[in-house]
Structure 1
Amino acid sequence: MSETSGPAHRPSAVPGPWSVPVLVRERRPKVVVKADLLPAVSVLGTLSLLSFPLAFVWSRIAPPERVRIIGSDGTQGALELESWHRFDDLAVFGFLTLGIGIVVGVVTWLMRERRGPVVFLAALLGVALAGVLAMLLGVGWANSHYAIDTAPALGSVIELAPRLESWWVLLTGPLGVSVTYTLLVTWNGRDDLGRRLG
């Protein structure tokens, strides 16, 4: 009795007409965490030091608000258009932190052997921490810079120290880091982000 070569005896692993044989499977690089922890802590600590120059520059270039003394008890009256400087103070601080965020994003990307999410998150947190410290230090330094030693006379015009009235401005620094680093990752296009020097 001869064996029949019917459909039941066909091998099940026959490749179809559109299949492509895979000779070598490409290994995707894994996210490096342990080796990047110490550099990430260094990045976080170094970036927090940016708060000092940021606070000093803002306290000197942010415009003060001028008001007129209209009462013998020190009552202040607003001058025309001077209240706009309250927004200017926020805008100046926002542009300074945004610029720092962009620079930090580029510098962090240039750390080729440490590219990845760990150092990127450290850069985000470092810029956010620098922004918080700069906000607190800058307001204090501005208050001391525009301090009034003697009681102002009636009708005189005095300058009030710049102030930051919204914490939302702290998002500009991490935004600059995120956009810059993301654009550089997209432009690179490699699975390992070019960490291997070879």
Structure 2
Amino acid sequence: MTAGGPDFLAPGPGPEGTPADVAPIVDRIDIRSLLRSAVLAVLGVAVVGLIGGILWGLVVPGVTGVVVAPGRAGALGADTGHRFDAVAIFACISFVAGALGGVGVWWIRSLRGSVGAVSVAIGAVVGAALAAWIGGLIAGARHPGVGDTAVGQFFSSAPSLRLDGSTVDSVGGFDFSWAIVVIAPIGALLAYLVLLLVVRRADLGVAPSGRGTQGGELVGDA
């Protein structure tokens, strides 16, 4: 080898202009880390929904009734609309809770894409079911119903979240309609979709990680 001449000891170029002994770098996915993030996302979205259920139980108005005879009671006409109000309030809270959960999961960059969308949907459904259950228990404690109310006295009962044609059998305190459970995932997925459309990058802003060579030699993160 002469000074300034070609280095004959250096690897020669491959067929595509890269050194022949250097394998192309590819991305590797850490499955365990991805699953761990997905589980945490599901739990986080479910907790947001549960908080919404607690809020609903604390603010939902009761249905006022009067005992007209022993074992017979009726609701006051002015308060019958509270049954609809209860479902409407729960639907609004569920939608907002789901949307907040969707935005929160979006900021977990490693989950952006189909895994994040599935995590959001599952977490929102679980959160809505827990919200209906816990919220119903809280509303029932605030509005206990007839109980030992004497004839001629008024009482307040908790409104139901059951809708005709979409009921879920009451088991272990669950007493709601499946129709109200789908509102939270709708809000979550809509929020997630909006953020997905806003990002104009093909990689959704996810930084590559776990990079290595096709030959099996790990070269570290890039």
User: Does the TM-score normalized on the shorter chain lie above 0.5?
Assistant: yes
Structure 1 range deviating more: 159-168 or 129-138: 159-168
Structure with higher RCO (Cα < 8 A, 6+ apart): 1
Deviation at 1:141, TM superposition (A): 2.1
The letter of the residue matching 1:138 is G
**Aligned counterpart, 1:194:** 205
Query: What aligned pairs does 1:98-117 form with structure 2 within 5 A after superposition?
Result: 98-117=95-114
Checking the alignment, whether the CA contact within 8 Å between 1:67 and 1:160 is kept in structure 2 is: yes
CA drift at 1:47 = 2.6
The CA RMSD over aligned residues, in Å, is: 2.5
Q: Which residue of 1 aligns with 2:165?
A: none
Q: Does 1:74 align with 2:71?
A: yes
- Distance in 2 (CA, whole Å) between partners of 1:148 and 1:131 is 24
CA distance in 2, matches of 1:100, 1:31: 34
Q: Aligned residues, how many?
A: 169
Residue type of the alignment partner of 2:82: H
* Of 151, 158, 161, the match for 1:154: 151
The 2-side partners of 1:169 and 1:31 are apart by 40
2:187 maps to 1:176: yes
5+ unaligned residues in a row in structure 2: which ranges? 1-25, 163-176, 209-221
- 1:91-124 deviations in Å (ceiling 9; x for gaps): 1111111001111111222222331111221111
SS of 2:182's partner is helix
Does the Cα contact within 8 Å between 2:143 and 2:158 map onto a contact in 1?
Answer: yes
Q: Which moved more, 1:151-160 or 1:46-55?
A: 46-55
Counterpart amino acid of residue 129 in structure 2:
V
After the TM superposition, which parts of structure 1 deviate over 3 Å for at least 4 consecutive aligned residues? 29-33
After TM superposition, give the deviation of residue 33 of structure 1 in Å: 8.0
- The answer to whether 1:91 aligns with 2:88 is yes
Question: What is the CA–CA distance in structure 1 between the aligned matches of 2:28 and 2:200, rounded to whole Å?
Answer: 16
Cα deviation, 1:53-100, whole Å, max 9, x if unaligned, reads 2232111101100111111x1311221231111111111111111001
Gaps of 5+ in 1: 1-28
CA distance in 1, matches of 2:193, 2:49: 24
8 A Cα contact 2:120 2:189, kept in partner: no
